[in-house]
Amino acid sequence: MKILAIIPARGGSKGILHKNIRSLAGKPMISYTISTAKKSKHIDRVIVTTDDKKIAKVSSSAGAEVPFLRPQKISKDNSTTLQAVKHTLDFLKIHQSYVPDIIVILQPTSPLRTTKLIDDTINMLIKSKATCVLTVSKIKKHPFSSFWLKSGFLEPFTRNFTKYDRRQKQPDLYFPTGDVYALWYRTIEKYGSIYGPKIKPVLTKSIGVDIDDPFDLFLAEMIIKHWNKYKKRF
């Protein structure tokens, strides 16, 4: 099977200027994602889709393909990952007659994922009847314990607020970590969606960080530099 990794890396980040190529423990952040993707046992090609020439240059130097610059109309704050993925697939089909069987979406803002996690997610997709497989973690702060703010007053998120006042009573919920999304090409073709109707999870307890602001960047750098040594204490 042909398995394509797509790394969406828009240039116009707000929280951190040029976030995707900011130095993280001495390396451009996006290079971590490119490196782990290229070590995968399954992935054939690694393509970065970006609208930014600096990101394109850094990505090429790190070993990724950057066969185009993404149009500005799908590189705005409200642009979606699906738009970037579909543009990449259309370009490859028209200009290279290339159609992958499986697409793996890897966000550059999750630089601490492992190659094993990528391969485990791909394996789950191949072995299951899922339309999409994504990495998730069990939620720690449950929404049933949260409030709406209405007219200056807090209102419980759920009507049965007191029923879920203890953690043991709260149903398990999971949120996407952003590390890996694996899907069939036909999922996008048939459903016009990354997900489709049958979504399978790969549960991870990884210490990954989804980098959005300077504190996240600091946290990721401390993990890279110190976590392996620190965790030996336990």
DSSP-assigned letters across all residues of 63-83: T-B--S---GGGSSTT--HHH
Domain ranges of the chain: 3-137+173-233
Give CATH for domain 3-137+173-233: 3.90.550.10
Paired strand residues for 229: none
- What residues are paired with 199 via a beta bridge? 132
Tokens of 118: 């990528």
Predicted local confidence at residue 219, as pLDDT: 92
pLDDT reported for residue 164: 65
Where do runs of H (alpha helix) occur along 39-192?
A: 53-61, 81-96, 115-127, 185-191
In the numeric block, which tokens belong to residue 108? 């550059």
pLDDT at 168: 65
pLDDT at residue number 138: 87
- The whole-number pLDDT of residue 165 equals 65
The answer to whether 36 and 27 have CB atoms below 8 angstroms apart is no
Tell me the residue length of the chain: 234
Rg (alpha carbons) of the chain, rounded to whole number: 19
**Per residue of the chain (234 residues), what is the pLDDT tens digit?**
999 999 999 987 777 888 999 999 999 999 999 999 999 999 999 999 999 999 999 999 999 999 999 999 999 888 999 999 999 999 999 999 999 999 999 999 999 999 999 999 999 999 999 999 999 998 887 888 888 899 999 988 887 777 766 666 778 889 999 999 999 999 999 999 999 999 999 998 766 788 999 999 999 999 999 988 887 887
- The Cα 24–Cα 111 span in angstroms is 9
